[in-house]
Amino acid sequence: MPSRKVAVAQLEASASKADNLDAVKRRVSEAARRGASLVAFPEFMMFHTPSSQSPAQLARLAEPIDGPFVRSVAESAREHSVGVVCTMYERSPRRNRVYDTSFHVSKSGRLVSAYRKIHLYDALGFRESAKMEPGNEMPRPAASGVGRVGMMICYDLRFPETSRALAAAGSEVIVSPSAWFRGPSKEEHWLTMNKARAMENGCYVVSPDQIGPVYCGRSLVVDPYGAVLLDMGKRAGMGYADIDLGALRRTRRGLPLLRSRRTDLYAGFAG
């Protein structure tokens, strides 16, 4: 089975929605020229919200999932015939709250799925719930040019149940757009958890990360056996890695982790 190329954009999003959209379009075009079947962007790609921005101000700038930002990204995907996973602040029914949303559009420009972050980062001095509303469902994996894609966002990496549920539902590639804050041991956590999520599920993990004064960078692609295929360090730009579904299936045959689970016993310890 031939491998397919995934492109990873490592960027520092600005507070300008228009500037960020232009940056997304340029990277989509570049990924297509380089032969990628899917390009993935970091968390908060629609715009960066400074800590001084109030929940009401953020909510006013948010858009619906069928709004102009998503439509423009979808049109770029269609124009260049490449799938895209990007991120946005989506309007929430709750007053002065938004969803942190990742969306997947196909190479034909069709919105395939949207995922609203279910684990908000209320930890280590941060409180995303002051401005955001958590999602309450996980979309099933969707077909893409690099395999069946499941979606997580950033802090979800710390909850192994999330990736396990996606893998059990058929994910071959998990894309986790992130804005991973710097701090003591944070890069070690980032590397360890991305590798662990790949190894324990026998899947590829693609994690584009923000760069800038407060974020780690180090966007990653990890293969199903835990090998880091791409580590972008601190530089802005594009990185590429091959997704080999034949290798994934060989790994899952040799390490049948999903098949060997004892789900008949786990339920009694849930909660």
- Pair of tokens at residue 107: 């190479």
| Cβ-contact 34, 7 below 8 angstroms | yes
Residue 79, number of CB atoms within 10 A of its CB: 14
Q: Residue 85's closest CA among 166, 140, 28?
A: 28
What is the radius of gyration, based on Cα positions, of the chain? Answer: 18
Q: Is the dihedral of CA 12, 18, 24, 29 positive or negative?
A: negative
Q: What is the rounded distance in angstroms from the CA atom of residue 259 to the CA atom of residue 252? A: 9
Q: What is the rounded distance in angstroms from the CA atom of residue 22 to the CA atom of residue 266? A: 47
Give the CA distances from residue 269 to residues 34, 70, 118, 162, 168, in Å, rounded to whole numbers and listed in that order.
48, 41, 22, 17, 19
Specify the DSSP class assigned to residue 96. T
Q: What is the rounded distance in angstroms from the CA atom of residue 45 to the CA atom of residue 220? A: 17
Residue 71, classed as helix, strand or coil, is: helix
Would you give the distance in Å from CA 25 to the centre of its chain?
18
Q: What is the rounded distance in angstroms from the CA atom of residue 123 to the CA atom of residue 231? A: 26
How many residues can be counted in the chain?
Answer: 271
Residue for token digits 């420009």? 109
- For the annotated catalytic residues, the residue numbers are 43, 117, 154
187, containing H or E segment:
helix 186-201
